Amino acid sequence: MCIDVSIIIVNWNTHEITQGCLESVYEQTENIRFEVIVVDNASSDGSVEMVQTLFPQVALIKNKENRGFAAANNQGMTIAKGRYILLLNSDTLILDNAIEKSISFADAHPETAIVGCRVLNPDRTLQPTCGMFPSLLNQLLFCTYLYKLFPKSKFFGRAKMSWWDRDDVREVEVVSGCFMLIRRKAIKETGMFDEQFFMYSEENDLCYRMRKAGWRNMFTPQAQIIHLGGSSAVLYSQKRAVIKDSSTIKMMFKHWPLWQARLGILCMVIFYASRLLGVGIYYFLRPKEQIRKLLANHIAGLKGVLGYRHYLETLHEFSRTKET
């Protein structure tokens, strides 16, 4: 029988959250034929045993090391049989047949490669997802925090589309990675995730390649999920900033002109330097554990941008390639 959708969930030490995600998938998915593939990135919290015991019908891939988000999803896509592939974060909960509604939307829009849905916080308030591709202008607006000062401005809020209430169907440049329904035909044409991105920016890169190939990326409010947010990412602690910045820089050098990529790094340096000054003063006046952690994260991020060897190697490699 034809499988409508292959649901791929990557797990890394999120035992209880992944269990809740799987329960919501089976409880809220009806009238379509689907398979679930869990890719475990060498968890040590009993996640594998939980899946094997409670969800024996799930296809389980057990990695011996943490291969990252992009590579793990590619493993799942390699064995997927569905005409659509849903990349679903482990810290999400499906609401009201959201997967079936997303497939119905995609079927009605055959020119669409990727479909995103409405994402809510646990308290059911809106979690703004989907947005524009990273660009030098968007990077500058982010670093200056002008999008937070003027969230309803279509210019200052352009990168995250903060002015938009996510209440209508709309074509978007980037669909958020927590829920990405992807047409198999589009994946065959453009390829899977670029595995040079360990985590972060892989969805930006994929969406960029889809649109460049002539496909559309769409958002529909008809389907809704809850996204807890950052459940695996927080386990990386201060390394999270370095991993995220590394992916951002790789994205810039892959798709931007060289001069823009260099200015993009400068924007990141200015961002961290200015935040360190402000947070440092605040911590000196009112020392708190939360502020101390924020200060440590900014220090780690600035060190990463300034001195991380791979950034310099990447800069040299792209400089040589583009100049020749």
Note the pLDDT tens digit of each residue in 237-294: 557 777 787 888 888 888 989 888 888 888 888 877 777 776 666 666 666 766 666 6
Mean pLDDT of the chain: 86
Q: Is 216 left (phi over 0), alpha (psi -120 to 50) or beta?
A: beta
The Cα 270–Cα 137 span in angstroms is 14
pLDDT of residue 319: 46
pLDDT of residue 304: 65
pLDDT in tens, 123-151: 999 998 999 998 999 888 877 778 888 88
Give, in order, the Cα–Cα distances in Å from 46 to each of 13, 42, 50, 72, 133.
Answer: 8, 10, 6, 18, 37
Residues 6 or more apart in contact with residue 223 via CB below 8 angstroms: 96, 97, 98, 99, 101, 102, 105, 117, 118
Q: Phi and psi (nearest 5°) for 92?
A: -120, 160
pLDDT of residue 323: 43
Mean pLDDT lowest among 147-156, 160-169, 313-322:
313-322
* 3-state SS, residue 162: coil
**How many Å separate Cα 5 from the centre of its chain?**
20
CATH (residue range 5-130+166-229): 3.90.550.10
pLDDT of residue 269: 80
The Cα 86–Cα 117 span in angstroms is 12
Query: Please, what is the Cα angle at 99 between 93 and 100, to 5 degrees?
Result: 140
The Cα 256–Cα 250 span in angstroms is 10
Token output for 110: 């055959």
Token output for 286: 């009112």
The Cα 99–Cα 88 span in angstroms is 10
Mean pLDDT lowest among 57-61, 102-106, 208-212, 298-302:
298-302
When pLDDT is averaged across residues 140-164 and rounded to a whole number, the result is 85
In the predicted model, is pLDDT for residue 235 greater than 70? no
The Cα 116–Cα 134 span in angstroms is 18
In the predicted model, is pLDDT for residue 95 greater than 50? yes
The most confident of the ranges 145-154, 235-244, 309-318 is 145-154
Question: DSSP alpha helices (H): ranges in 86-201?
Answer: 98-108, 136-144, 146-149, 184-190
Q: Give the confidence band of 65 by pLDDT, cuts at 50, 70, 90.
A: very high
pLDDT of residue 290: 66
Q: Which residues pair with 59 in a beta bridge?
A: 37
